[in-house]
Chain A
Amino acid sequence: MTSTTRWAILFLAPPLALFAGAVAVPTVMALQLSFTDATLLGDAADWIGLENFRDAFGDQHVRKSIRITLLWTLGGFLIPPALGLGAATMLQSNSRFAVTMKSALFVPIVMSLVVVGQVWIWIYEPGDGLLNRILGAVGLGGLEQAWLANRSTAFFAVFIAWAWQQTVLAMILYLAGLATIPVTLTEAAQVDGATRFQVFRQVTVPLLRPVTTVVLSLIAINSLRNFDLVYAMTRGGPVRETETMPILVYRVLFRELERGRASAISIILFAVTLVIVGGLTWWGRRRSHAV
């Protein structure tokens, strides 16, 4: 063994042991548990093959949580990147106002989702929440309601609170991306007679593609891990209308105390994550090689 190999092993052993103990081995254990009927604290568990998975796909609550999670991710792909890019384009100037606002707009991203959830609960408050007050003030008082308690509005209400934060995240990343585009490129296009919109569509947006891949990947991961905000705002209610897959796993594990089923649902979530985020990464690489 060369001395370099010995050093390599010395460097790798401690962090890899930690990773194995707290991430890799537990992941394999979760996979194993998903084939059993284990309960939260009971010792005995029987191997039941794919039954948890069959049950899961037949269970309306699981199917609904998959739909909610996918809808959430789709909404996340469509709304925050578009708004974030628009805002970044507007804030691109270096006027004192824009610079101050850029710093102030950072606060939402470093805010914990507990805090975000809390303030949005106040906005949606049925009595004197901000949204109802505004609707009342502009003569749309008829629309006033308990946004988070109403089964048909709860999902959108929580989604908007989340999109508020993710929009700022997208904006910050696009601002960094816009700053890397040489002004000479956009100028040249304008000299050639392109309108501002054409320059934006045909020069700026394609050049931002690497940033767009980052934005979409982060949003996908954040959507698929969406536990914190839903837990802080609705705990998955009303009547499980906002029950994302992470919330469902938590519920099955700690309320229904079924460890085997909870593992199976978490493994499905893992698979969905692999497909979506893996697909995005592949797409991003292919596109960036093509450019």
Chain B
Amino acid sequence: MPSRAAPAHAGTGAEKAEAPVVGEDRRAGLLRRRGGPIALVVFVVIFLIPVIGVLLTSLKTNAEIARRGIWSATGNLTIDNYLEVWRNANTGRYLINSLQVTGPAVAVSIIGGTLIGYTVAKLRIRGSAFILLVVLSGLFVPPQVLLVPLFTIFNDLNLLDTLWPMIIVHSAVGLSITSLVMRNFFDQIPDSLRSAARIDGANEGQVLLKVMLPLARPAIAALATLQFTFIWNDFLYPLVFTTDDDVRTIMLGLLAAQGQFTVAYGNQAALAVIASIPTVLVFLAFQKHFIRGLLAGAIKG
């Protein structure tokens, strides 16, 4: 199965890259030593300017930005914008709302995907292939297709302006990717592991919980990182399903703030940084898993 090669190698690849490239021809080597680093620095600077721009702007006073522009180099930095955003806007509420959506949705989508992926890969009951096909076809459904009927359904259920629509939709939509990754993962686990545990008297539930789950930890970590980033950053569903400021997620709050403090760029930037901290932290902690999740996800669709 060559198509599964990439995720399998992704984890072990880092060590191999350390081996030096030898035998390159000398002219190219010279070009690489001189031209390479310069091109690299230019590339990195261009790609980091937007990130640095937000960070710097968040540390400047609004008065200074008004006088000298967003992109001026600055001497005096301050954390006043952060304090102000924290005090004035509903920032704390937004963050809690985002956590209340992201936490359960990440958990439910991964638990559900593990159950589907394991059953399809290892229990192989009749209809497994069809069930997998239906769940995976969710990857192709644009969110806009779901919005049209879901808006009415949540309206009828009186759930608009609560956090439930986002929790439910993200949990359900996430099942496609989590089932795919978990199915691919359990496919590689030898069947003998399950039969051995069964012979020792464990039932299917115990096999999954005690034997399979501990093995699946890396795949689960990859999915958790991916799902966290995706759900935390989303603002389409909150935009459609909520209007009340008290149920806004942080991304929707940020979007609203852009209209609210039209000229207070410093405050906007501070809120943007606050909104980005959780995903950056999760990423820093799980960098390797994140890449593996991305690679595993789109392969073997």
Contacts and interface: CB of A to CB of B under 8 A. Distances in A.
Contacts, number: 330
Given A111-B51, A225-B142, A186 B21 contact: yes
A223 to B, nearest CB: 11
Contact of B69 (A19, A108, A128): A128
Contact of B298 (A118, A218, A253): A218
Given A173-B291, A180-B16, A187-B22, A269 B70 contact: no
Contacts of B123: 4, 7-8, 11
Contacts of B61: none
Interface residues of B, number: 111
B145 A90 contact: no
Interface in B154-201: 155, 168-169, 171-173, 175-176, 179
Contact of A210 (B5, B113, B142): B5
Contacts of B149: 25-26, 29-30, 33, 263
Contacts of A274: 140
Contacts of A284: 3
Contacts of A98: 40
B91 interface: no
Interface of B: 2-3, 5-6, 9-10, 12-14, 16-19, 21-25, 28, 36-37, 39-40, 43-44, 47-51, 53-54, 57, 69-71, 108, 111-113, 115-116, 118-119, 123, 125, 131, 134-135, 138-153, 155, 168-169, 171-173, 175-176, 179, 203-205, 208, 229, 232-236, 239-240, 251, 254-255, 258, 265, 268-269, 272, 275-276, 279-280, 282-284, 287, 290-292, 294-295, 297-299, 301
A110 B229 contact: yes
Nearest to B4: A210
Closest 8 pairs (CB-CB, A-B): A179-B13, A15-B112, A22-B172, A128-B69, A180-B9, A7-B204, A112-B233, A29-B149
A27 B28 contact: no
